Amino acid sequence: MTSNGALRIKEAFAKGKALVCFVTGGDPSVAQTEAYILDMIKAGADVIEVGIPFSDPIAEGQVIQEANIRALAADTNINSLFAMVQRLRLQGETKTPILFMGYLNPILHYGYDSFFSKCAINGVDGVIVADLPYVEKCEIAAVAKAYGVAVISMIAPTTADRIEEIASNAEGFIYLVSSLGVTGERSQLHAELGQTIARIRKVTTVPVAVGFGVHSPEQAQMLTASDAGINADGVIIGSALVRKIAASPQTAGGEIAVLLNKIKTKMKNL
């Protein structure tokens, strides 16, 4: 069985400026994550990223590092996350793209063929691997393609003269890293995001979403407004949601929905 993850992602971005929401799978339990995802979709999330927890998440700031620890303490693994996605798909969540985001080692250990075949079977449309830059993409590119799973490429403020090459080979969407450093909310984003997006648009129609540090409705508006110089196709919000889960897992679903509603409203009223 194969799927076409890139197509489902494309349709999600075709509806307008997209809101991509990250949650660490299994924080504090897989059942809770499943509920949060339903809350997010209801509140307007266009794409869901589920973090596969890893013991040593080197690209994460403290908020998501701690989420990884909680998820591992709850015995979360790739199989339990596949089962969760399958349940979501069986409940009728068939339109919203769901991506896995994580580090290469758990996927390598699972076996690339097993992993991507199960992505296709269970309805995981794409993967974002934080420690697999474009220069190493071939590690998984062929097998992911065979099963129709999109491998999302990242472009960073330091990517410089490799922007065009990465963009012209991108699939699904391009994950534009907003600033130097690890994940986590921040007020200052890199000054040249607009120029980078303009360079990307010259070589591809694949949409661009900005992540790392995005946490407020105002930022989301500033990043996606067509007249504000950046004009991204979407934003990725992670640590701000995970922080709410850490603070109060029982009420986080509702609080996340309120924040996402505000962000969506700002992104619509451009």
Partner 1 sequence: MSDVSEVKASEVKASKENANESANEAPSAAGNAAPKEAPSAAGNAAPNEAPSSASNNTPTATRYTPTAAKNQKGRFGEFGGQYIPETLVSELIQLELAYEQASKDIQFKQELATLLNTYANRPSLLYFAKKMTEDLGGAKVYLKREDLNHTGSHKINNVLGQCLLAKRRGKTRVIAETGAGQHGVATATAAALMGMQCEVFMGREDTMRQALNVYRMELLGARVHSVTTGTQTLKDAVNEAMREWVSRIDDTHYVLGSVMGPHPFPTIVRDFQSVISAEARAQILEREGALPAAVVACVGGGSNAAGMFHHFVNDTSVALIGCEAAGRGISTGEHAATIATGEIGVFHGMKSLFCQDSNGQIAPVYSISAGLDYPGIGPEHAWLHSTGRAKYIPITDDEAVSAFEYLSRTEGIIAAIESAHAVAYAIVLAQELKKHESIIVCLSGRGDKDVAAIARYCGKDISE
48 phi and psi angles, rounded to 5 deg = -115, 130
Q: Which of 37, 67, 177, 242 binds partner 1 (CB under 8 A)?
A: 177
Strand partners, 49: 22, 99
Q: How far is the CB of 202 from partner 1 (least distance, A)?
A: 17
Respond yes or no on whether the N-terminal peptide bond of residue 217 is cis (omega within 30° of 0): no
Residue pointed to by tokens 């990223």: 49
Closest CA to 36 of 252, 240, 216: 252
Query: Is 40 buried (19+), middle (13-18) or exposed (0-12) by CB count in 10 A?
Result: buried
Query: Is 50 buried (19+), middle (13-18) or exposed (0-12) by CB count in 10 A?
Result: buried
Counting contacts by CB under 8 A, is residue 185 touching partner 1? no
CB under 8 A: which stretch of 139-147, 200-208, 217-225, 236-244 binds partner 1? 139-147
Q: Closer CB to partner 1, residue 158 or residue 250?
A: 158
Counting contacts by CB under 8 A, is residue 203 touching partner 1? no
**Subset of 221-260 contacting partner 1 (CB under 8 A):** none
Q: Closer CB to partner 1, residue 75 or residue 218?
A: 75
Query: Kind of pairing, strands 150-151 and 153-155?
Result: unpaired
Counting contacts by CB under 8 A, is residue 15 touching partner 1? no
For the sheet containing 208-211, what is the strand order?
150-151, 126-129, 98-102, 47-51, 18-24, 234-237, 208-211, 174-177, 153-155
Q: Closer CB to partner 1, residue 158 or residue 205?
A: 158
Q: Which of 11, 113, 192, 218 binds partner 1 (CB under 8 A)?
A: 113
Counting contacts by CB under 8 A, is residue 192 touching partner 1? no
Counting contacts by CB under 8 A, is residue 217 touching partner 1? no
Give me 128's structure tokens. Answer: 């974002």
Q: Which of 73, 180, 247, 270 binds partner 1 (CB under 8 A)?
A: 180
Counting contacts by CB under 8 A, is residue 159 touching partner 1? yes
Counting contacts by CB under 8 A, is residue 213 touching partner 1? no
Q: How far is the CB of 113 from partner 1 (least distance, A)?
A: 4
**Subset of 73-112 contacting partner 1 (CB under 8 A):** 77-78, 103-112
C-alpha span between 76 and 25 (Å, rounded):
7
In the complex, the residues that contact partner 1 under the rule CB under 8 A are: 54-56, 58-59, 61, 65, 72, 77-78, 103-113, 130-143, 145-146, 153-160, 162, 165, 169, 177, 180-182
